[in-house]
Structure 1
Amino acid sequence: MTSFNRKSIKIISYSFYIVLLDQVTKFLVLNTLGFQRSQNIIPNLLNLTLVRNSGAAFSLLSNSTSLLTIISILASLLLITVILRFPPRSKWNLIGLAYLLGGTLGNGIDRLFKGYVLDFLDLVPINFPIFNVADISINIALICFTIDIIKTKDKSQLKY
């Protein structure tokens, strides 16, 4: 098995665990808390508040579930294609792809089977949208890609 195949399998495996964590946490919060209630987890910091999000990040494109479902499916297929056809350039790129695919699939599964995304993490001290594990994963991916770009840029500047 080539290192390319090992990297691809590693990315897809990590993504699977992210999707599993996302779906299990949504299931647990739905079954223990349900809608219309909020549970304080960390005083003055974090509540569990289950909401249906029919939009994208920050409730953009609300009530566009069909469009967002198609985008989720296409983005996931594109990411899988990239992972299988192009080896990651670096550790940060590998990690970023795993988190991005996991987050995209996690929210995409909700859209496809429920018609909305379940969000439940509510930061109390700031007026911030309620989010979920898939959303966190997508943001971690962006951080990893940013680190990858900075490190790649630093390496290219050292050559001159």
Structure 2
Amino acid sequence: MIYYSLIVLASVIIDQLIKYWVVSNIEIHETIFSNPILSLTHIRNSGAAWSILEGKMWFFTVVTVIALIILPYLLYKYHNESKWMTIGLSLIIGGTLGNFIDRIRLGEVVDMFQVEFFNFPIFNFADVSLVIGVMCIFVYILFFEEKSKGM
């Protein structure tokens, strides 16, 4: 379980360090690095992706608290079953905590990574952790869940 706790902690620390650097060095709505693939643009988001449910802090707080009760339980439950599942859950917990820290501290989430070659919401490292975590769980479900149940 220590290994998975370190994944959670690393995800949160990296996320918060990047956000601290962005807030300290880039003005809101300013872009400082741009190429055809990715740019760094400092924005704030009080909603979810594409500003869905913007300003609904109570909703995100309730959902996050529920997730932070259920996800560690699932991590404990599956910690001996599958690396895909446990690493995925660890990354999801880390990403959830990273964005929750922003919501509590700032009332909104700091985002900075902008994909340039198609229209996609600007995102942060916590979001990357969440997406990779979900992908790990999908790999587990698609390729390993049946085998782990002995079918």
Q: TM-score, normalised by structure 1?
A: 0.85
Q: 5+ unaligned residues in a row in structure 2: which ranges?
A: none
On the 8 A contact 1:100/1:137 being kept in 2, the answer is yes
Q: What's the secondary structure of 1:63's corresponding residue?
A: coil
Q: TM-score, normalised by structure 2?
A: 0.90
On the 8 A contact 1:110/1:117 being kept in 2, the answer is yes
Q: Aligned AA for 1:103?
A: G
Confirm or deny that 1:70 pairs with 2:65: no
Q: What's the secondary structure of 1:127's corresponding residue?
A: coil
What does 1:32-47 align with in structure 2 at a 5 Å threshold? 32-41=25-34, 43-47=35-39
Aligned to 2:9: 16
Instruction: Report the CA distance between 1:44 and its aligned residue.
Output: 1.2
Residue number among 136, 144, 151 corresponding to 2:136 in the alignment: 144
For residues 26-64 of structure 1, what are the alpha-carbon distances to aligned partners after superposition, in whole Å with 9 as ceiling and x for unaligned?
0101111121311124x2111111111100123211110
Q: Aligned AA for 1:87?
A: Y
CA 68–153 in structure 1, closer or farther in 2 if over 3 Å, else same:
closer
Instruction: Report the CA distance between 1:149 and its aligned residue.
Output: 0.9
Higher radius of gyration, 1 or 2 = 1
98-107 vs 72-81, greater mean Cα deviation: 72-81
Q: Aligned AA for 1:33?
A: I
- State the identity %: 35
104-113 vs 66-75, greater mean Cα deviation: 66-75
Q: For 1:16 and 1:34, how far apart are their aligned partners in 2?
A: 28
Q: For 1:114 and 1:83, how far apart are their aligned partners in 2?
A: 28
Aligned to 1:87: 78
- RMSD between superposed Cα atoms in Å: 1.9
Q: For 2:2 and 2:101, how far apart are their aligned partners in 1?
A: 21
On the 8 A contact 1:50/1:120 being kept in 2, the answer is yes
On the 8 A contact 2:12/2:97 being kept in 1, the answer is yes
Q: For 1:139 and 1:75, how far apart are their aligned partners in 2?
A: 15
Instruction: Report the CA distance between 1:153 and its aligned residue.
Output: 5.0
Residue number among 105, 111, 120 corresponding to 2:97 in the alignment: 105
Count of residues in Structure 1 that have an aligned counterpart in Structure 2 = 150
Q: 5+ unaligned residues in a row in structure 1: which ranges?
A: 1-7
